[in-house]
Structure 1
Amino acid sequence: MTTEPIAPAAPPPAAAGTAAALPDRGSADVVLIVDDVPDNLALLHDALDDSGCTVLVATHGERALELAREAQPDIVLLDAVMPGMDGFEIARRLKAGPRTAHIPIVFMTGLTETDHVLAAFAAGGVDHVSKPIKPREVLARIGAHLHSARVQRQARLALDAFGHATMVVRERDGRRVWQTALARRLMDEYFGQGDATHLPPEVIAWVARESLRRRAGAEPATLTVARGARRLTYALHEVGEEFGGDGEWLLVLREADDAAMIGAMTLAFKLTAREAEVLYWVVRGKTNRDIGDILGCSAATVKKHLEHVFAKLGVETRTAAASLAISKVSQLANR
């Protein structure tokens, strides 16, 4: 088990300005404690260490943000009131960062007024414990959150390992509750590196429409976003209880590349590059005039290319050519 030891009389290693070694996760849950009081850190560190957790500590906001981004802890125990950057601001920044938005935050505060408790939840907290800290209470309160975080982490890693870009989103505001690294990369490439914590407006609108259709019993539909020769398709799925509560959906993203498919057709049927482009757009259901507009040539030229395609494929109709092309390319993709 990897820990960053602390001593009540001096700042813990994780709070120092020098870089600390990142934990070897293994099967242990990683907990980041953020508090400016060494006695509180020591008390929590010992309790969590004894329970089998890997413990990281920070005594100020900047170090907390740095550790969270680098170590990707399973949960953050966060003091609400600290000099400089307070816990509420730390929480808001964690939730605004694409690498840390999914991490559950439990606030620790001596402020019991309703306004302060509400502020903790508004900043992104999932729970809170009151000071003075009672270690057994803290362990009990974070147990359920750690289990949920563990399940989500394992799911993200497994999905990325199999090349599935996925994210869980909140229907009411399009917030990305969690996402795999592949999903985050695709979203950045298609929509730019803007708001990494919410879906783009066009995707939010589609999720709202599709979720209503699904609740009404309609057949699932997809959304496709095109960027040049690349296309990103979204499919909506219900979320299991272990991933989120009511009003959350699982989005599965799949990317298709026009150039890759055209290249596959070129090789499969021994077509010229232009003939393969014509066949590809026939498969996509375009007319000769549409294809001419796309490729910058006349409909008559498209028709001539199509005659050569029919001859090479041994077919006589557009439908037959499209069916054969889809079948062949699918076979190549599954090898």
Structure 2
Amino acid sequence: MQPLDASFLDRQGGAVVLIVDDVPDNLAVLHDALDESGYTVLVATGGEAALARAAQALPDIVLLDAMMPGMDGFEVARRLKAGAATAHIPIIFMTGLTETEHLVAALEAGGVDYVTKPIKPKEVLARMGVHLGGARRARETAQHAGQARNALDAFGYASITVRVADGRLLWQTPLARELLARYCGPGWHQQVPPDVAEWLRRVHGIAHTLHEPPRFALEQGARRLAFHLHQQTGDGAEGDGEWLVVMREESDVAAIEAMSLSFKLTAREAEVLYWVAKGKINRDIGDILGASPATVKKHLERVYAKLGVETRTAAAGMALGRLRQLQPGFLA
């Protein structure tokens, strides 16, 4: 089946409605009534088909039969509400069950309303009208947010939305998925790695008190994947929030080359200055570069002369300023 283009469906008239029912007669009655009222109508006769159709078309509202063979309507609703792309879609249950516990179960599964069988099309239309205005606004908000986040990819800034309590990935752009797989392995498509989750839990409660919350990086040779908090998107309660986190891949090699050009340094002088900006002492820099501390000191003296400074602190300050221009959010 070819994926449905939700934007194409929207242009065909009124709201897009997905009807899910395993009884053909019920589908026919509702389809005709809704079609005559100007809605674009999609149908599914089972749970799996409903989930696939909802993911493809992103309907404005779902009319969902509670009792179906195989996957019942309650499970379909739970899965729709668990998906980032479909969580905002209102669900109206259609049920012949009138006991309180069944109606409560429908609402707990994610339904916003219910109608009882036998179905009365006028009642269904009235209930739909109550929920569609808010649903359309929620959908547009979700689409705009998705477009904005995906736009970050074009500039090398991948973004994810993470739930603080359990590290669950609620949203990720294509570049984010690629970077997480490269640095963490292919299994991290639903959860962030434990060390990233721990960093997020640690800074979540204090982020609002800090001008620049602590950042985090995953190292991979001369490259690193840097994470920083961008915007809180969920509940602000301790441990229960959601954050939009921006990631960017950074490279020692690229930064060193850029500093060499910026300050007219040799490759080795640029390396020494780079590691000074990272807070390394001469002995550590020597270990990294395979040179003695005395050699590092000589290179550093030439760096001072070219930068027109006299102290390690001044040289590091100039280097940090340039690195933060080259790599916003540079982690010293």
TM-score category of the 2 structures, normalised to the smaller one: 0.7 to 0.9
Query: Normalization by structure 2: what TM-score?
Result: 0.72
Please say if 1:318 is aligned against 2:312.
yes
Computing the radius of gyration from Cα coordinates, the structure with the larger value is 2
2:145 paired residue number: 155
Q: Distance in 1 between matches of 2:101 and 2:287?
A: 61
Q: Distance in 2 between matches of 1:273 and 1:48?
A: 71
Give the drift of 1:179: 4.6
Please say if 1:37 is aligned against 2:31.
no
For the residue of structure 1 that corresponds to 2:67, the secondary structure is: coil
* Structure 2 residue identity aligned to 1:143: G
Q: Distance in 1 between matches of 2:229 and 2:53?
A: 34
Q: Distance in 2 between matches of 1:88 and 1:153?
A: 26
Please say if 1:208 is aligned against 2:201.
yes
For the residue of structure 1 that corresponds to 2:7, the secondary structure is: coil
Contact 2:6 2:59 in 1 (8 A): no
2:280 paired residue number: 286
Give the drift of 1:221: 1.5
2:114 paired residue number: 129
2:227 paired residue number: 233
Query: Normalization by structure 1: what TM-score?
Result: 0.72
Give the drift of 1:270: 3.8
Contact 2:250 2:327 in 1 (8 A): no
Contact 1:25 1:54 in 2 (8 A): no
- Further displaced range: 324-333 or 219-228: 324-333
Q: Distance in 1 between matches of 2:284 and 2:107?
A: 53
Q: Give CA deviations for 1:120-142 in whole Å, capped at 9, x if unaligned.
A: 5665x253423335222023134
Give the drift of 1:154: 0.8
2:215 paired residue number: 223
Give the drift of 1:82: 1.9
* Structure 1 residue identity aligned to 2:274: Y
For the residue of structure 2 that corresponds to 1:222, the secondary structure is: coil
Q: Distance in 1 between matches of 2:63 and 2:323?
A: 51
Contact 1:102 1:178 in 2 (8 A): no
Give the drift of 1:166: 4.1
* Structure 2 residue identity aligned to 1:224: F
* Structure 1 residue identity aligned to 2:184: F
Please say if 1:139 is aligned against 2:116.
no
Q: Give CA deviations for 1:73-121 in whole Å, capped at 9, x if unaligned.
A: 5554443322223334444555666x64645452524145455455556
Q: Distance in 1 between matches of 2:28 and 2:235?
A: 33
- Further displaced range: 53-62 or 316-325: 53-62
- Seen in structure 2, the aligned counterparts of structure 1 residues 199 and 297 have a Cα distance that, compared at 3 Å, is same
- Seen in structure 2, the aligned counterparts of structure 1 residues 19 and 212 have a Cα distance that, compared at 3 Å, is closer
Q: Distance in 2 between matches of 1:153 and 1:86?
A: 29
Q: Distance in 1 between matches of 2:112 and 2:48?
A: 22
Aligned residues: 311
- Further displaced range: 285-294 or 34-43: 34-43
Q: Distance in 2 between matches of 1:52 and 1:298?
A: 79
- Seen in structure 2, the aligned counterparts of structure 1 residues 302 and 54 have a Cα distance that, compared at 3 Å, is farther
Task: State, as a whole percentage, how many aligned pairs show the same letter.
Answer: 48
Give the drift of 1:36: 2.4
1:79 paired residue number: 65
- Seen in structure 2, the aligned counterparts of structure 1 residues 320 and 220 have a Cα distance that, compared at 3 Å, is closer
